[in-house]
Chains A and B, each alone.
Chain A
């Protein structure tokens, strides 16, 4: 077990909707395959090599900065990067922290856009967010060919510590210092608020998304882009892929505590304030006989059945109140 710091934050919210167009038919290859000469050297040898690294970085930096966003979750913030003109954003799963959550995307100049989280991969910390407003957004290209290798020069962008207009996006240079299938490390130093921000190769192609840091300055960990590409359609499709540790799937929530009843069904003992149950008009003492037509045998079975639903789904409850049966529809909330 290792102690690691996640760089973003997580926060409850809910909502709906997405859209995504056609950017994936990218013109990927024009600068793709041929590697920059300084990446073929074990280390830069002289000032000329260093100037060429600087030049490559500075040529691609303006577009990279324009596409790097801060993601404001209300109680915390992370970063992200726009990868399509329609406003598809890649970020970390522990930043978006769920599917269908509302958030605000902030451009470097301070412009704010409403956005909603799409799918995520909970096991590797990959996620997508969609800007909801229509517009033409600055975006970066992807390193689809997975062309980087250990030692390549890279740079990291992000809104360290949250959005600060006067400071703008922070950029850090480094090399790829460790490469594993699901995590790459660089010596670009990251800090809280950078989570979800982009890691670029020196052609300005996106190669990863910031995830977490270790105690030493050399442990800065990123989710490789291939992890996003592998799960691209599922994330577009608002799927919650994999299990923890970076996000926990939302559990449907009714808001009652119940007890078994000899004659079948369950009796409501408590209705929580401001819960979906209270909103739907359930009362203490009501007997719930059936859930979506399925008869209830007891409190344990009832609570297990509820867990099969997702927040936002509607269920029909058959109720016995004052010896009369009635049906109540409840929209489940999120715990």
Chain B
């Protein structure tokens, strides 16, 4: 699968010897993401100031959010706030210390949060979807008073990314070569739900949630509709005996370590979850891992999407506005049945 990735050679190149020539350099402020250039985007920064949310773990900002209702609903990147103890939210200069995680979807890695507020400025949605080369603006860094920005453009076709794998896993590798009934476990991943439940290499999984599983496809289908933290009943065969276990599902990226490519080596930090999204816009925004989750705006200050992953040195993904709206309405209507936690 990885054969498409271009090899990159680290080469030591003599550069000092040729430095005789006249070399001009553009000052930092004047560069694409320099202070002077940002000034031209100030009307758009104003929108970020008023209607983007900063998500904190204690004193540290860990992500941004998109405000979707004036009474305090906002969405952010779910995997970045998982397990955070001291969650708080800042909008403009107001700090909300009581934050409820209402619900989330692991398929899109989006969580719906709620703060007690009234009259928040709701983001305006852009139409139609932006094309290649359209300026986009998003949160860059933040102080208690001010939101700063990062700018770039829409840089490639909107598309599905990843291979359509379920975003939650048991934490086993399976031997699918045999003809026998069930799915034999080859290896059990450390720190996975499977290892915590006591699954062992050699076990043969027969049923999950009372349904027979015969192939990877059956398994993927079943896991595809699950969220992290969900528990699943497994019946398996171990040395001739029937065994029943309950396994907690975890995020794929927290169980299986991703293989690092050479391109990753030149990318700095990237989002832990950066693949397997049903559809994304691609931008060239130089975002840090901690500045995803916020709105992606066009020059009109309208929201074209929500930043969802820093993928590599030149690619950042955003959930398109249309899909995000559908996710938001799904998460809000699902609130009653959702698994909320203060």
Chain A residues packing against B (C-beta within 8 Å): 1-10, 42-47, 49-51, 53-54, 57-58, 61, 65, 75-78, 94, 150-151, 155, 160-164, 166-182, 187-195, 212-213, 215, 217-218, 245
Contacts and interface: CB of A to CB of B under 8 A. Distances in A.
A3 B8 CA distance: 12
B8 A77 contact: no
Contacts of A218: 31
Contacts of A189: 284, 286, 313-314
Contacts of B314: 160, 170, 172, 189-191, 194
B156 interface: yes
The 7 closest A-B pairs by CB, nearest first: A162-B4, A193-B6, A192-B8, A189-B314, A43-B36, A44-B40, A172-B284
B155 A43 contact: no
- Residue in A163, A166, A191, A218 whose Cβ sees the most chain B Cβ within 10 Å: A191
B266 A58 contact: no
B4 A164 contact: yes
Given A172-B153, A178-B23, A163 B11 contact: no
A170 B134 CA distance: 13
18 contacts: A1-B16, A4-B10, A4-B11, A9-B9, A43-B29, A47-B40, A53-B135, A61-B133, A76-B7, A160-B312, A162-B5, A164-B4, A169-B156, A170-B155, A175-B31, A178-B26, A191-B315, A217-B313
Contact of A75 (B7, B15, B29, B313): B7
A58 B31 contact: no
B307 interface: no
Contact of B23 (A77, A179, A192, A217): A179
Contact of A170 (B10, B22, B24, B156): B156
Contacts of B131: 58
B30 A175 contact: yes
Given A160-B314, A245-B11, A187 B40 contact: no
Given A151-B30, A160-B315, A192 B40 contact: no
Nearest to B35: A43
Interface residues of B, number: 60
B140 to A, nearest CB: 13
Contacts, number: 199
Given A8-B6, A50-B299, A213-B266, A170 B282 contact: yes
B133 A57 contact: yes
Nearest to A216: B268
B14 to A, nearest CB: 6
Contacts of A50: 40-41, 135, 299
A92 to B, nearest CB: 12
Contacts of A195: 6
B133 A162 contact: no
B12 interface: yes
B30 A192 contact: no
Nearest to A153: B32
B30 A94 contact: no
B12 A1 contact: yes
Interface in B242-267: 261-263, 266-267
